[in-house]
Amino acid sequence: MKLLRDLFGSKGVDPLDTLADDYLKRLKRGEKIDRSSFIATYPELAVELGRRLDANPEIVAAEEKLQKQFPGPMGLATRGAPDGVPDFSIEEAPKAFDGMKLGDYEIASEIGRGAMGRVYRARKVGSSQDVALKTLPASLDISDGQMARLGREGSAQGRLNHPNIVKVYDSGTCDEIPYLCMELIEGGETLQTLLEKTGKRFEERRAAEIILALAHALAYSHQQDVVHRDIKPSNIMMDGDTPKLTDFGLAFIQRQDVTRLTQSGEMLGTLCYMSPEQVGGHQSDGSSDPHPQCDVYSLGATLYELLTGELPFVAETPGQLIKKVIDDDPLPPEKMGAKVSKDIEAICIKCLEKSPEKRYYTASALGDDLTRYLDGRRVEAPRINWATRRLRNYVSKRRWAVAASFFLILTLSGTFAVTYIFNYRDGVKTLVTNNGNAPPEGDDYKLSLLLRAVNDDQLEARMAAVTALCRQDNDEARAALIKAAEDPEEKVRFHLATVLVDWPGETASRVCKLLLEEDGGFVAAAAIKLADTIGDSRFTPAIKKFTYSDEKVLRGYALGALMTAPGLDYDAFVSEYFRDGPKDGRIALLKRFMKAKAAPSIPPLIQLLEGTGSSAEIESASKILAFFTDGSYGSDSQQWRIWWEKNGESWHARRCLAVSWASQESLLKLGDIIWEIDGNEVTRDAKFSPSLVAEIGVIRKDTFNSINGPLGAHKSQAFFIGTVNGLPVGDNALAGRLAKVLSSGR
């Protein structure tokens, strides 16, 4: 009890009162909170807390209203037993693992707990990195819903890699305890915690910066076809000043045949942050699938709370709250006591539009408008005239009469022209919502729509059209893509280069040639990656030029692509670059060699030892030579010259692949080293698709294995090993392991 009092503040604060108040507030917000799960979060106070909740008439009334409003899925757990003791007992509390091991993870301490289980600070055996381990209770009472939610969280969040999304590294089950291994956020503070600490109101620029970072994260998530569905301050972790989205347990993965967590029309999420179509159980087009604009709405509700310190809608019962979300406008921020600029108010209210068509098409569009606001430019969201808005809503509630009158006007003024415009906008909305990917049902987009959309004033429409045009096999589509390489907006040109990586053909080559003429920036970096994928020697001179760029990132991309560029005298380039290249570039190239990301060139490294390099470069060159050869001569260039004259013809840097991930159905395993394919060396052009059927030579643990496909889903990363007469050599553990396996026979 003393520990809990310390956690809740001064000795004058009763933690039971604080917890009861929090429980009541969450009931009034419309959260689907389960009484037993809430009590389970605080096992030390289980009995006392249950009695305190039973003794509060407001809580009892709120629970009864909630159960009447939403029997079944929305119902609460059974209230206390006849003697007043809650059903949950301390013995039923989730199992603690402090100081124990869970699978491959050593648990250090508990850092949080909730209705879904506990979160621990842990470390994988053999690793130096701390992680967060999220577990369900060690109990036979784990529900199918809990398992499905944790599985959905791992599946959805695990496929995302973004600086503003908490990373999921691993998942599994040990001793019947399911767990997720995630990025550890020191402090574990959520945006909800910050709201409470700061008096529930943020300075508007800080609020905009937080929402902008989250909009970027959601734009990336939506591009990966993942809709979060439960965005709220308590699901946003704060890593210092950096917000990170977490808890994808209710996420929806588009265009996949997934098992749903709910029946059609059932609500998921927290009512006060859910969009009207979510609380209504269907979208405006009649479908039941969530769409990215649901997340845009929830992000707007979060922004409203940051600006005003209050939720957009508050009611006594969930039924009243649902009606407000569907029918009412949020109050102007000034009526909530918040003095904010018209621009940030316009952005917030545009996110909270009842109709998805009136919100931002995408999270990326929201991010662009927030960037304009932060840069002091005019935002695209219309300024809010609250009187006009109320009139518009009045008309929308009488839409049938208004629609009939409007139809008559359209008929008199030219039905055909207006219908054409509406059809185009509807097509663009679908195009943007699907990020240019083919519609889940029906035929692909018409070419006429794409040719118009690629010239649309809306940035998102042009980018989506580029994605869709890549699938079109005709001259008009190819001409439109080449023209898009001259689009004035850098984002379009960057997106074009990124998409064409999957379509390396003549059109990609012509676009790549145009984009490589850029002076620098992220467009040029994407063009280098496209050129690397195409593998045409015509691009090698342009890539070589960028290795001398002042931009560090651009120079790194160029060096990486040039290591395998066709038509390049590799040894001559490395020798020239060590002599004339920028110092940072030379260091970057040496680091690539040291990380085995590129095949080293031995003669230029020996030249560095002869005095052409700095002391740091000489030290690196010595280590690289020892790492890739069986020599151990330090920085003695003369001895290395003798070694090279003796072994140069038999030395070779061989490309291998390390399997970094493999599905349970795959023939490959995590940690496998792919050594050869059909008896031949692994080349840069080798394609290891899941459907590949070939004889794959794999070193697994300390044996050589021959595997025949199909290989199944997997990922691998390339690295280089030095060999002499075909056997691995070098002052590194991996080379020693491979040499031992390969020399002992197969």
* Sequence spans of domains, the chain: 2-92, 101-183, 199-397, 398-473, 485-568, 593-649, 651-743
Rounded Cα gap, residues 56 and 52, in angstroms: 7
When comparing pLDDT for 91 and 361, which is higher?
Answer: 361
The CATH architecture that domain 199-397 belongs to is: Orthogonal Bundle (1.10)
* Across 664-670, average pLDDT: 91
Rounded Cα gap, residues 676 and 573, in angstroms: 28
How confident is the model at residue 352, as a pLDDT? Answer: 93
* Across 464-477, average pLDDT: 93
Q: Which residues pair with 545 in a beta bridge?
A: none
Alpha-helix runs per DSSP H in 535-636:
540-546, 552-562, 570-580, 583-594, 602-607, 615-628
Backbone angles phi, psi at 505, to 5 degrees: -145, -160
CA angle centred on 631, ends 630 and 635, rounded to 5°: 145
* Across 526-531, average pLDDT: 92
How confident is the model at residue 116, as a pLDDT? Answer: 61
**Please, which pLDDT band fits residue 483 given cuts at 50, 70 and 90?**
very high
pLDDT tens per residue, range 489-504: 999 999 999 999 989 8
Average the pLDDT over each of 143-152, 672-681, 726-735 and give the range with the smallest value. Answer: 143-152
Rounded Cα gap, residues 281 and 267, in angstroms: 6
pLDDT tens per residue, range 668-712: 999 999 999 998 999 877 878 888 889 999 999 889 999 998 999
pLDDT tens per residue, range 35-77: 766 775 665 566 677 778 888 888 888 887 776 665 543 333 3
When comparing pLDDT for 468 and 8, which is higher?
Answer: 468
* Strand spans (E) along 234-340: 236-239, 242-245, 252-253
Alpha-helix runs per DSSP H in 87-179:
144-158
* Across 223-231, average pLDDT: 89
**Please, which pLDDT band fits residue 471 given cuts at 50, 70 and 90?**
very high
Q: Which residues pair with 265 in a beta bridge?
A: none
* Across 188-198, average pLDDT: 83
Burial of residue 262, with CB atoms counted within 10 A of its CB: 0-12 exposed, 13-18 middle, 19 or more buried: middle
- Give the 3-state secondary structure of residue 730: coil
* Across 419-426, average pLDDT: 73
User: Taking Cα atoms as reference points, which of 600, 552, 541 lies closest to residue 719?
Assistant: 600
**Please, which pLDDT band fits residue 288 given cuts at 50, 70 and 90?**
low
User: Taking Cα atoms as reference points, which of 602, 549, 613 lies closest to residue 578?
Assistant: 613
With a CB cutoff of 8 Å and minimum separation 6, the contacts of 161 are: 167
Please say if the pLDDT value at position 93 is more than 80: no
Average the pLDDT over each of 55-64, 155-164, 396-405 and give the range with the smallest value. Answer: 396-405
Please say if the pLDDT value at position 418 is more than 80: no
Residue 745 amino acid letter: G
**Please, which pLDDT band fits residue 256 given cuts at 50, 70 and 90?**
low
pLDDT tens per residue, range 306-328: 999 989 998 877 778 888 888 88
- Enumerate long-range contacts of 734-743, CB under 8 Å, 24 or more apart: 734/673, 737/699, 737/702, 738/656, 738/673, 738/675, 738/699, 740/702, 741/699, 741/702, 741/703, 741/704, 742/675, 742/699, 742/704
Please say if the pLDDT value at position 725 is more than 70: yes
Average the pLDDT over each of 156-160, 338-342, 580-584, 669-673 and give the range with the smallest value. Answer: 156-160
Select 485-568's CATH number: 1.20.58, 1.10.510, 1.25.10, 3.40.50: 1.25.10
Please say if the pLDDT value at position 396 is more than 70: no
DSSP secondary structure code for residue 190 in this structure: B
Q: Are 496 and 511 in contact (CB under 8 A)?
A: yes
Please say if the pLDDT value at position 145 is more than 70: no
How confident is the model at residue 459, as a pLDDT? Answer: 93
Q: Are 622 and 609 in contact (CB under 8 A)?
A: yes
Counts of helices then strands in the chain (DSSP H, E): 29, 17
pLDDT tens per residue, range 548-565: 998 988 988 899 888 878
Q: What is the dihedral of CA 667, 668, 673, 679, to 10 degrees?
A: 30
Highest mean pLDDT among 65-79, 107-121, 245-259, 534-548: 534-548
Q: Which residues pair with 707 in a beta bridge?
A: 696
Average the pLDDT over each of 252-256, 345-349, 521-525, 590-594 and give the range with the smallest value. Answer: 252-256
How confident is the model at residue 720, as a pLDDT? Answer: 93
How confident is the model at residue 544, as a pLDDT? Answer: 92
Alpha-carbon distances, residue 552 vs 596, 689, 740 (angstroms): 20, 33, 40
Select 101-183's CATH number: 3.30.200.20, 3.30.365.10, 3.90.1170.40, 3.30.70.1170: 3.30.200.20
Burial of residue 399, with CB atoms counted within 10 A of its CB: 0-12 exposed, 13-18 middle, 19 or more buried: exposed
Backbone angles phi, psi at 538, to 5 degrees: -65, -25
Q: Are 691 and 710 in contact (CB under 8 A)?
A: yes
Three-class SS of 320-383 = HHHHHHHHCCCCCHHHHCCCCCHHHHHHHHHHCCCCHHHCCCCHHHHHHHHHHHHCCCCCCCCC
* Across 193-217, average pLDDT: 89
Burial of residue 727, with CB atoms counted within 10 A of its CB: 0-12 exposed, 13-18 middle, 19 or more buried: middle
The pLDDT mean for the chain works out to: 82
Average the pLDDT over each of 155-159, 325-329, 419-423 and give the range with the smallest value. Answer: 419-423
- Give the 3-state secondary structure of residue 678: coil
Active site residue 230: yes
CA angle centred on 224, ends 281 and 361, rounded to 5°: 55
- The tokens describing 738, both together, are 């491979």
Backbone angles phi, psi at 703, to 5 degrees: -135, 160
Please say if the pLDDT value at position 375 is more than 60: yes
* Across 630-646, average pLDDT: 93
pLDDT tens per residue, range 504-522: 889 999 999 999 998 888 8
Percentage of residues in the chain with pLDDT exceeding 70?
Answer: 81
**Please, which pLDDT band fits residue 78 given cuts at 50, 70 and 90?**
very low
With a CB cutoff of 8 Å and minimum separation 6, the contacts of 473 are: none
> 21, 22, 130, 230: which one is catalytic?
230
How confident is the model at residue 63, as a pLDDT? Answer: 80
